[in-house]
A and B are shown apart, each in its own frame.
Chain A
Amino acid sequence: MRFTFLSLTKHSILPGFSLTMGFTMLYLGLLVLIPLSTIILKAAGIGWPQFWEIITAPRLIASYKLSFGASLLAATINAVFGLLVAWVLVRYSFPGRRIVDGLVDLPFALPTAVAGITLTTLYAPNGWLGQHLADLGIKAAYSPLGVVIALTFIGLPFVVRMVQPVLQTLDQEVEEAAASLGAGRWQTFTRVIFPALFPALLTGFALAFARALGEYGSVVFISGNMPMRTEITPLLIMTKLEQYDYAGASAIAAVMLIVSFVLLFLINLLQWWQGKRHG
């Protein structure tokens, strides 16, 4: 192993490469690659016709629609409001701005179960917020809307933190140039500022979307878990497990994994594109 690595590295005088790389690979192999491969193996062992039957069951199709749709909607909401929040935090000053700025990371640091029960309690028909919505005839908790709310919550930091650094390093002179050429503020925003922010915005959107797709803890409380209506796909894996249907669980997991990997690949592509534009 030692020789292979040395031949791959550019010559460096710093020591410890083999040791640290070896440990890293060992850790990754034991912890990530081997366990993940069990899913593939298990799913592969099912046989195609049965695999297909499992993953296209009506209940599952309904869950795909919910997971995918709600994640997409939540990520979009986060894209719009995340941009707004990033803009306000970077460009304007107001008392308590630093505190608000720090607070944006809360959904990332907060345990998903805490978020789950809190959001459910808030948006339940008798909750602080849910009661007002009920007056308007809107059901928040135990409905797809509740799922969207929960997914918006956990995806909130991603767009904001992606857009903020780009906004901060945006050259002031470019905006001055646009103004000196006669562009109004809105024109400057749509033609000059927004295109510069777009890659970061898209990456943040993709991150929020990917996170939302696999989310479990924050959603299972508020969704109500009604079959064919408010079940998310990760929940169905749980359900299969509880019934000791390991084959079924692995099939669904395989589908989710494939989607995750495709998304991960796309996100890396986006970040590379963003690096090119921004750097």
Chain B
Amino acid sequence: MSIEIVNINKQFGSFTALKDINLTIATGQLVALLGPSGSGKTTLLRIIAGLEAADQGSILFHGQDTAKQNVRQRQVGFVFQHYALFRHMTVFENVAFGLNVRPRHLRPSKSEIKEKVQTLLSLVKLEGLADRHPGQLSGGQRQRVALARALAVEPQVLLLDEPFGALDAKVRKELRRWLRQLHDELHVTSVFVTHDQEEALDVADQIVILNNGRIEQLGTPEEVYEQPGNPFVYDFLGNVNLFHGRIHQGRINIGSIELDAPGYDDTLNTRAVSFVRPYNIEVEREPKGQEFIPARILFIRAVGPTVHLELKREDSSDLVEVELSKARFQALALKSGELVFVRPKDLKIFIPDDYVI
């Protein structure tokens, strides 16, 4: 079931939570709402669910305006950040809740409910725990109960609010892989909120990046990572180096070097910022060309397959972060304090006056 979000605006007092949000979520997609705290992502999720009301705009489920429907009627499965399990009920009773409160004529029989709950519990791999209380479960288990409970009512839409926020790193990784698999099996239109870009990039079909109540960019994980549309997105997703410089007629001047600036042939003497990923910086012991900047190694972290270097430029005192493969690092035999030469490649150039980060 598709979701259309049209012109949503929401204010809390003088604080603008959401401004002119327009978005379409196709049926069966798994979409991530990604952004820093205060970006409005949870507010948007709650508006879709009917837990909050927008000041302006509408939400359409499969073309139908949901304005007249309250949260009960929208058939959304909502998974809360802190699970919101019913503490005094067993796992079984929690999952069965949505089915038990249906009006008589819509309610399945006891045996049907039992079967459904047990199917769901095995789906979320919690078969033996039906009689436990939430207090006796681990965080990851509680999260899965919350999911099973939301799925029990066969929602048209599954909404998850920072579902893995309260769990530790390893459990988070496992659960998000598992969520992806579950989605592939069930094909329920799902929207989840997160501030963790790794999670979004890992799991989602589409990512919507929000900042200060506005959509910065939306696209597939590859699109937003490889072709960030503005400095905010570039900075928010992954590590990045900033090189300040000036553009003049297709060439950008950065500190002691000059590089090609394709697409800026007509620009005259304008300040610009270049974004470069740490793995797109070449390191040599001797300058192999005009485009190398001298820099001194401050710090080396050689744990794992990638080596991280922190360097200080000799021409401007800015810091540069570099990622090298272990093989390359060992070939160069680098040590802390040494002077080396770095060349930025694959620059993404932005003119600051066009954007405000």
Contacts and interface: CB of A to CB of B under 8 A. Distances in A.
B49 interface: yes
A182 B101 CA distance: 7
Interface in A167-187: 171, 173-174, 176-184, 187
B101 A173 contact: no
A181 B86 CA distance: 12
A181 B84 contact: no
Interface size bracket, B side: 20 to 34
A195 B88 contact: yes
Is chain B's binding surface mostly helix, strand, loop or mixed? Answer: loop
Contact of A173 (B70, B72, B77, B80): B80
A97 interface: no
Given A176-B84, A195-B88, A183 B77 contact: no
B97 interface: yes
B275 to A, nearest CB: 39
A176 B87 contact: no
A247 B31 CA distance: 82
Contacts of A187: 101
Contacts of A171: 82, 84
B87 A277 contact: yes
Nearest to A192: B86
B82 A180 contact: no
Nearest to A175: B84
A173 B84 contact: yes
B72 A177 contact: no
A181 B84 CA distance: 12
A179 B97 CA distance: 11
Contacts of A132: none
Interface in B101-155: 101-102, 146, 149-150, 152-153
A181 B152 CA distance: 9
Q: Which 5 A-B pairs have the closest CB atoms?
A: A181-B98, A173-B84, A177-B84, A180-B78, A183-B101
Given A174-B84, A180-B51, A182-B72, 11 more contacts: A173-B84, A176-B71, A177-B146, A179-B51, A179-B71, A179-B72, A180-B76, A180-B77, A181-B101, A183-B72, A277-B87
